[in-house]
Amino acid sequence: MSSGMFVSDANKVTREVSGDTLPSGAIRQRVQASFGGDGVSRDVSDADPLPARAFARMPIVSATFTRPPNATAYAALDAVSNNATAGSVTPLAFQVADINDAPVALYRIICRTTDTGAGGHLFKLYLYSQSPTAVAGDNAAWSPTAMAGYIGAFTSSSFETFADGSVGFFFQEKGTMIQTKPESSGKNVYALLETIDGFTPSGASTVWTFTAEGQQGR
């Protein structure tokens, strides 16, 4: 039951204060929660609840490229990408964060490709916190990029072969995860792919889709 109670302020002025009458007859002061700075605070309500912020997010994000329209065999330590011309290679881009500059930890990357020729073979993903400039085009011998933005590498287990493609699991090669921030004032990390041993594609223009799994801080 709502009731009123009277108190004296610092100037000895009597003011009514909202309260609830308990079964015992005592009056308990009613307190209204609010939030915001001085002069701009707002009362909490169903329409305007207390703000809450999650401190972790589990991103599962994908990036894809399509190989050039050929089935030319790859040697060990060749680049695998969307274009045979180095200057036209588009790195894989994973949007690992939902707010700019949020730190992330990457645990595993799964590759699903329509290329059955990748089955039984090994690959390596180089990861960057800024978009790298590829030095080698598709099916050319891998050549190191500039080290700016390089955050580590993931190497795959032997790809498993399925009726319609192959699947490989990539893990951090020098630890259990990569902790990083995405590109400056952005949300992405980037990757380039290299063969560890050679393989022959099962067809032209095979599609390679990579799914990154991790955790994002706020």
Tell me the C-alpha distance between 190 and 97, whole Å.
13
Q: How far is CA 87 from the centre of its chain?
A: 26
15/5 Cα distance (integer angstroms): 8
* Contact status, residue 64 vs residue 207, Cβ threshold 8 Å: yes
3-state SS assignment for residue 84: coil
Nearest to 117 by CA among 21, 30, 207, 181: 207
Q: How far apart, in Å, do the first and last CA atoms of the chain sit?
A: 43
Residue 20: pLDDT band with limits 50, 70, 90: confident
d(CA 199, CA 72): 9
- Residues 160 and 115: their CA atoms lie apart, in Å, by 11
Rounded distance, CA 56 to CA 58, Å? 7
Query: Could you give the C-alpha distances from 134 to 34, 67, 74, 92, 148, in angstroms and in order?
Result: 54, 15, 17, 11, 12
Band the pLDDT of 5: cuts 50, 70, 90: low
Mean pLDDT across the chain: 90
| Tens-digit pLDDT profile for residues 46-81 | 888 877 665 567 889 999 999 999 999 999 999 999
Q: Each residue of 89-127: pLDDT tens digit?
A: 999 999 999 999 999 999 999 999 999 999 999 999 999
159 contacts 119 by C-beta, under 8 angstroms? yes
Q: Which domains can be identified in the chain, with CATH numbers?
A: 2-33 (no CATH), 56-217 (2.60.120)
* pLDDT, tens digit, 9 for 90 and up, residues 147-161: 999 999 999 999 999
